[in-house]
Chains A and B, each alone.
Chain A
Amino acid sequence: MDFALFLNQLFNGFSLASLYLLASLGLALSFGIMRVINMAHGEMLMLGGYLAWLTLLVVPGGAGILLAVPVAFAGAAAMGGLIQTSLIRRLSSRPLDTLLATWGVSLILQQAARDLFGAIGVEVRAPDWLMGSFTVAGVTLPSARLFIIAVAVLVLGALALVLLKTRIGLLTRAVNQDRMMASAVGIDVKRVDFTVFCLGSGIAGLAGVMLALLGPVTPNVGQSYIIPAFLVVVMGGLGSIVGTTTAAIVLGVFSALAQMFVDVSVAQMLLLVFVILFIQIRPQGVVAVRTRQLDV
């Protein structure tokens, strides 16, 4: 196999990994503290995409896409907060039921998008400075993909700052380590849940803007990335950002490199096999959170 193709795919792998990471960070965070998975998380991506489109209708051009990022973040965070308070909080001790109930939410949101924006989907036109590409050593680096990688790195950095340097970050880490103990020492666990859930949904909304740069925004745009994102969460370990990042990179690069030899369809199958084999070796995920709890 050609070396240039290998480098190209390696780059594509990192760009795919950035998308996986943005799509899965919110899942991993809220899974870490609440032990629940929001099946409507993919629809936060969709919401972000549509919000980007709406923003660009009001403010076209390069400024629009930069403005779309905070708009999508805020919109998706608000929707996430709504789902958390109205539904997930009520189901907090029943993780499997949360899975199912939020899947119902996902169905409704998808159909609502279909009714509001049409089933065909809308197109977000990237500004000119995101349209070009650079060629380095025979490898094409599209600006849009470089931009996505940069955004992923920034988000990751910001999140690390929040978790390590702020009070809410401290509380989040405490709840993540031992929810019951944190509650016992007087931490308002519900408020932490809510904040983390909003934050995670917001990141997904931001990921939706990135997806809009690469493809159409359709009512089911979230569905094509959500299952790899679930696998990232499974592989990453409980609520660990380092674990999630590692898992996203490993799965993104694995998937891109596999595509050098097989079709996308087969690559998808191999991805699952890879994750199942991985948990044979490390069932606790890439990074295990140290805890004395028995039932994590």
Chain B
Amino acid sequence: MSKLVPPAPLRRAKPALPWVLLALGIAAPFYLGAYDLNLLARFMAMAILAMGLVLIWGHGGILSLGQGVFFGLGGYAIAMHMKLADLPAGEMPDFMVWSGREALPVWWEPFASPAFALAAILIVPTLLGALFAWAVFHRRVGGTYFALITQALALAFATLIISRQDVTGGFNGLTDFYSVFGFGLASPGTGTGLYWLTLAVLCLAYLGLRWLLASRFGMLLRATRDGENRVRFLGYATTPFKTVAFAIAALLAGIAGALFTLHAGVVSPALIGVVPSIEMVVWVAIGGRYSLAGAIVGALLVNLARDAVSSAFPELWLYLMGALFIVVVTLFPNGLAGLLKGNRA
């Protein structure tokens, strides 16, 4: 399969792909209705997370089955802010009342400030991601072990959120938001505005990652993936590289979670556990783990297909997803992007 070379027209299409995507992204608000635009915006938020996986999995060889955790941290941070922002003075969010809490927890209070909430979206996932990655990598535990530990992390995080209902909203998650930073969520203008914001963040993340992957950092990351000990023998400490890469992916997941929560109007443990986390890897596997544009296409396509297939043929969806996963991973490890580019694994 590694001899497979795509036909010339497809190869020539490769550099154009990001531009085509951008043009479509800009055209979408003029072409789609409010519902479809909202759907597209959600998927674009997920695409931001997917690009983070390209960084760590494709280029770093670090498979994370727990990206949902960081997605959730970002989502919950913005949700906590919106919960407090809509609240009359002196009251508690409704779920705290019915969970029997007497007062707002101290660590909730600063989230009333928009600046704090924004900072939390950026800092908390990054910091937690860095800490977690460092704790595992500095003892030279990696590869399969790391993947298994991240999966356990996803399980533990989702379970913890569910069990601390009085401060997290539990299984229900957080929902019923009316405004964000002063803009009413019900007004169509806000929806379009959020779409542009998501598109802008997506472009920024894309450009940032492109630069990063082309830099010395990217080169060393790939070198670490292909032969960690050799890089060590050359005198580089590899743990900081891997930790930084993982933290960046966590940051992107956090931003994606916050944007997704704004579009979906809800964040809940159902979005962050074991299965959603592994599905995030599916997007990237299908789109192409080495390609940023591929990851975007993968995230959009898989979610679009799920939306269409799971309603019409609910039973079929799981078979399709399972089969797609097996086929793509075994036969087309470079995903859709590989079909355009030719093989480079």
Direct contact between A and B judged by beta carbons closer than 8 A: yes
A269 and B315: CB pair below 8 A? no
Nearest Cβ in chain A — how far from B272, in angstroms?
14
Q: Is A161 an interface residue (CB 8 A)?
A: no
Alpha-carbon distance between A115 and B318 when the two chains are bound, in angstroms: 11
- B155 & A268 in contact (Cβ 8 Å cutoff): yes
B-side contacts of A90, CB under 8 Å = 330
A101, A105, A110, A294, most chain B CB atoms within 10 A: A101
- What is the CA–CA distance of A94 and B315 in the complex, to the nearest angstrom? 30
- A87-B330, A104-B323 known; A99-B144 Cβ under 8 A: yes
Distance between Cα atoms of A280 and B140 in the complex (Å): 10
State the CA gap A294–B232 with chains docked (Å): 12
Q: How far is the CB of A125 from the nearest CB of chain B, in Å? A: 29
Residues of B within 8 A of A37 (CB): 144, 147-148
The stretch of A182-190, A196-204, A225-233 that contacts the partner chain: A225-233
Partner of B329, one of A97, A231, A283: A97
CB distance from B38 to the nearest CB of A (A): 28
Given A96-B61, A111-B318, the answer on whether A230 and B148 have CB atoms closer than 8 Å is yes
Neighbouring B residues of A265 by C-beta, 8 Å: 159-160, 162-163
Complex Cα distance A266/B164, Å? 9
Per-position 1/0 for A75-110, Cβ under 8 A of B: 000000000000100110011110111011111101
- Chain B residues lying within 8 Å of A114, measured Cβ to Cβ, are 315
Instruction: Say yes or no: A272 contacts B63, CB within 8 Å.
Output: no
From A95, A227, A231, contact of B274 by CB (8 A): A227
Mask: chain A, 267-294; 1 = CB below 8 Å from B; 0 = not: 0110111011001100100000000001
A35 touches B153 (CB 8 A): no
- Contact check, A95 vs B155: say whether CB atoms are below 8 A apart: no
A256 contacts the other chain (Cβ, under 8 Å)? no
How long is the Cα–Cα vector from A180 to B322 in the complex, in angstroms? 33
Given contacts A99-B63, A265-B159, A266-B163, whether A105 and B326 have CB atoms under 8 Å apart is yes
- Tell me how far the C-beta of A88 lies from the nearest C-beta in chain B, rounded to whole angstroms: 10
Tell whether, in the assembled complex, residue B163 and residue A111 are in contact, meaning their CB atoms are under 8 Å apart.
no
Contact between B322 and A269 (Cβ–Cβ < 8 Å)? no
From residue B293, how far is it (CB to closest CB) to chain A in Å? 21
B160 & A266 in contact (Cβ 8 Å cutoff):
yes
Question: Which size class do A's interface residues fall under?
Answer: 35 or more
Interface membership of B278, Cβ < 8 A: yes
- Given A100-B281, A104-B323, A266-B163, are A234 and B318 neighbors across the interface (CB < 8 Å)? no
A101-B329, A230-B152, A295-B229 are contacts. A36–B144 as well, Cβ < 8 Å?
yes
B148→A269 contact, CB < 8 A = no
| Bound-state Cα–Cα, A101 to B332, Å | 12
* A114 to B, closest residue via Cβ: B315
Cβ of A263 < 8 Å from any Cβ of B?
yes
* B141 on the A face (CB < 8 A): yes
Q: A227 and B152 in contact (CB under 8 A), knowing A99-B147, A280-B139?
A: yes
Per-residue CB contact flags for chain B residues 226-267 toward chain A (1 = under 8 Å, else 0) read: 001100000000000000000000000000000000000000
A103 with B274: CB separation less than 8 A: no
Collect the chain A residues with CB atoms within 8 Å of residue B135's CB.
Answer: 276, 280
CB<8 Å pairs between A and B, sample of 11:
A37-B148, A103-B325, A104-B329, A107-B322, A108-B318, A114-B315, A230-B148, A265-B162, A269-B159, A272-B153, A283-B139
Top 7 A-B pairs, shortest CB-CB distance: A104-B325, A265-B163, A107-B322, A283-B139, A108-B322, A104-B326, A111-B318
